Structure 1
Amino acid sequence: MASSRQHLDALTGLRFLAAAHVVAYHVYHLVFTATEAPPGLHGLIGSGYVGVSFFFVLSGFILGYNYLERPPDTREARTAFWVARFARVYPIYALGLAIAAPAYLKSLLTAWTVTPDTAWRESAALVLAPLLLQSWVHWTALAWNAAGWSLAVEAVFYAAFPFLAGRLGRLGPKALAVGALAVYALALSLPGLYMLVDPDHTGGTASAYNSGPWMLTLRFNPLARLPEFILGILAGRYFLLRASEAPRSRPVVLSVLGVIVIAALMGSPFLPFPLLHNGLLAPVFAGLIVLLPRSRGGVARVLASRPLLLLGEASYALYILHMPVMFAWKSVLKRLGASPTSAWAVVALLGVMGVLSVLAYQRVEKPAREWIRAWWMGRTGQRPVTTGLQPRG
């Protein structure tokens, strides 16, 4: 087990690439429109939302890898687990809310002035977002800090994991295969049903920018995304079963999986948005996550390099903070009379995001995490469950 743990660094580097894909997706729509962008670029970067599906699978894998052999199956262990997860994700999440607060409160004031009859919907996020409940209601899922919707989903995953771990941690290879197929079918059944019924009357045009209430519920409701997380746990169980195998180079398999991902993303205009958004590539992500740490190839070495390790550790801060930073940057440029779509402004924005995420990781995330753990130890005389490789929230 010790040798395999050393090779999980590659997943930290991969985590940065997934977060960068999500960031590129949002910055891309700041610069281009669908009609202006080159078709290949539009498909590849314009499908950055699938990075969140990757994170859901990765989160399940990391928790499974770290906890399935000793699941938190007592009241004390479950509480310690939840405190550890809170310490991991909430400080940066709160920082994101603070940075986004001026723009959000300004939008609330406008809403109460212009459309007072419906402004209460946006205002509900004042209560729901700090409690990580906004994704349960489709009209608040993207309110305040839009990137926070996935943290509300992850909160449900964290709540459920101790009760899933004891059962999934006992599965053998055959049961894992059956379970993975069943969970994947469940993940696709809801978007498939949506496409069949079309409750929002989209005429097959549902997209990230053309979604009715049922599509928003499908995209953001925690229960709709739970199968992707469970698939990750199953991948973690499979990885543990194969832990005694020596690491080896699998360049062909990794290359094939990578080509599948890239081809799917570049051809995304031809793939149904509901399926692609809600886990169509989840098995491919699970395959990459399982194989990469066991590889000694060049890709794994690059992903485990020191620069990518640092960026990977800061990727959670990058993900949570990038949207409020982007909107704050647009506001600054507007006051300066500069265009946010100019090349220098985009490069500067990316630089600011990168530096801020590293600083937030080093100056906020790590110290706050340790403070919460120390507080918990002083309160109870025990440490919350900790691991060497932390999941992205």
Structure 2
Amino acid sequence: MVSSLPPLHALTGLRFLATAHVVAYHVYHLVFTGTEAQQGLHGLLDSGYVSLSFFFVLSGFILGYNYLERPPDSYAARKAFWVARFARVYPVYALGLALDAPAYLKGLRDTWAVDPSRGLQHAEALVVTPLLLQSWTPWTAMAWNGSGWSLAVEAFFYAAFPFLAGRLGLLGPKALVVGAAVTYGASMVFPALYMVVDPDHTGGTASAYHSGPWMLALRFNPLARLPEFILGILAARFFLLREQRSRPVMLAVVCVGAIAALAGSTALPFPLLHNGLLAPVFAALFILLSRSQGAVARVLASRPLLLLGEASYALFLLHMPVLFAWKSVLKRLGESPMSAWAVAAFVVGSVGLSVLTHVRVEKPARAWIRDRWTRRGTEQPAVGLQPRA
């Protein structure tokens, strides 16, 4: 049975802004290498990785919103849920792998020529990445289309959700507060331990530039990121229990607080910030924005941002292969990738490609997979097949 709850259009538009934050982060590091913007802008551009925490909390919130009242608690319902998630994420994921394959294979060849043992590790991505398992081992997480590591984490979340939903969907208000506090504390345990023990010998200066095995495991391992997802589910349960509208002042405070934290991100410990330090802020933002009928919610739910939000998944997975290909073209042309026209062309091209992919690949492939599964037969219809946000 499909969920009858209204779609949360404002969160769809917000999803595009978070994806744009990730894209800006990669452009800043991969194109404007060696340059640094003014402090506040540098903090905003240098903290794009935080948007992955945003997506993990959002994923839990949206799935909780659509499924907690009717959790997939039977074999048929769980199967329908998993098929729906596969249909939603895998077609564009596979396209991203195909587009990035030339760069990955070239890197594999070059690595193998220099260090065969590292090349063998790099080659493991050929097996685990198509299976959405690359984030379980640090050396394969970003080997092939680096953005895809978060989909391996999401795949673990999807596998666990039907078993979490039945329990978390029964919590009352007091239990939710306790559960949220415990979950948030759990999300901070591993990064705090990393800072105390410093197993990669970073000297207390851990950052996105450190690639020690323990740092990579902390950043990418699905178990380390699970609390952020659970916090999103708990936020959805809280949202479903309460009906009152949000106050514009509260929404403004949360938005300003999140932006201020990102602008000052260089002063915050990287392990904590990367692994969910702002997760409660994101959860509060989703609750307040979903209840809001103010100007911010209306703008985010407008048709242009709604389309961009729906296409943001394709933008997230395809922008890095496009960026690498565009840099290669510019190098052959003898043009600087830092020129205004080159950056503008990349942005317009990436966004246009994402919209085209959403319309011509993602939606038809999703419908084909779900239709094929339906025809092959389940006697029980799926519950809430398409989480909407």
More displaced 10-residue stretch of structure 1: 328-337 or 47-56: 328-337
Alignment-mate amino acid for residue 222 of structure 1: P
Specify which of 316, 319, 336 is matched with residue 316 of structure 2.
319
Q: Give the paired residue count.
A: 386
Secondary structure at the aligned position of 2:117 is classed as coil
Contact 2:254 2:284 in 1 (8 A): yes
Specify which of 308, 324, 329 is matched with residue 326 of structure 2.
329
Once the two structures are TM-superposed, the CA of residue 210 in structure 1 deviates from its matched residue by 1.8
Q: How does 1:353-392 map to 2 (within 5 A)?
A: 353-382=350-379, 383-387=381-385, 389-390=387-388
Aligned to 2:202: 202
Residue 14, structure 1, aligned to residue 14, structure 2: yes
Once the two structures are TM-superposed, the CA of residue 34 in structure 1 deviates from its matched residue by 6.0
Where structure 2 has 5 or more consecutive residues not aligned to the other structure, the ranges are: none
d(CA) in 1 for partners of 2:229 and 2:23? 22
Aligned to 2:162: 162
Alignment-mate amino acid for residue 369 of structure 2: I
Contact 1:12 1:312 in 2 (8 A): yes
Sequence identity (%)? 72
Alignment-mate amino acid for residue 162 of structure 1: P
Deviations 1:217-274 (A, max 9, x none): 00000000000000000011111111xx25x352110111011111111111110000
Aligned to 2:94: 94
Please, what TM-score do these two structures have when normalized by structure 2?
A: 0.96
Alignment-mate amino acid for residue 104 of structure 2: Y
Q: How does 1:1-393 map to 2 (within 5 A)?
A: 5-6=5-6, 8-33=8-33, 36-242=36-242, 245=243, 248=245, 250-382=247-379, 383-387=381-385, 389-390=387-388
Contact 1:7 1:294 in 2 (8 A): no
d(CA) in 2 for partners of 1:94 and 1:225? 23
Contact 2:246 2:291 in 1 (8 A): yes
d(CA) in 2 for partners of 1:7 and 1:229? 20
d(CA) in 2 for partners of 1:386 and 1:363? 23
Contact 2:63 2:387 in 1 (8 A): no
Alignment-mate amino acid for residue 371 of structure 2: A
d(CA) in 1 for partners of 2:93 and 2:295? 34
CA spacing shift, 1:37–1:108, aligned 2, 3 Å: same
Secondary structure at the aligned position of 1:60 is classed as helix
Once the two structures are TM-superposed, the CA of residue 45 in structure 1 deviates from its matched residue by 1.2
d(CA) in 2 for partners of 1:330 and 1:33? 13
More displaced 10-residue stretch of structure 1: 265-274 or 106-115: 106-115
Where structure 1 has 5 or more consecutive residues not aligned to the other structure, the ranges are: none
d(CA) in 2 for partners of 1:20 and 1:373? 29
Contact 1:376 1:384 in 2 (8 A): no
d(CA) in 1 for partners of 2:126 and 2:314? 22
Contact 1:206 1:273 in 2 (8 A): yes
Alignment-mate amino acid for residue 91 of structure 1: P
Once the two structures are TM-superposed, the CA of residue 101 in structure 1 deviates from its matched residue by 0.3
Alignment-mate amino acid for residue 209 of structure 1: Y
Alignment-mate amino acid for residue 66 of structure 1: N
Once the two structures are TM-superposed, the CA of residue 130 in structure 1 deviates from its matched residue by 0.1
Alignment-mate amino acid for residue 343 of structure 1: A
d(CA) in 2 for partners of 1:327 and 1:390? 31
CA-atom RMSD in angstroms: 1.5
Alignment-mate amino acid for residue 290 of structure 1: I
d(CA) in 2 for partners of 1:45 and 1:315? 18
Deviations 1:332-358 (A, max 9, x none): 111222111111100000001100000
Contact 1:34 1:42 in 2 (8 A): no
Please, what TM-score do these two structures have when normalized by structure 1?
A: 0.95
Contact 2:54 2:279 in 1 (8 A): yes
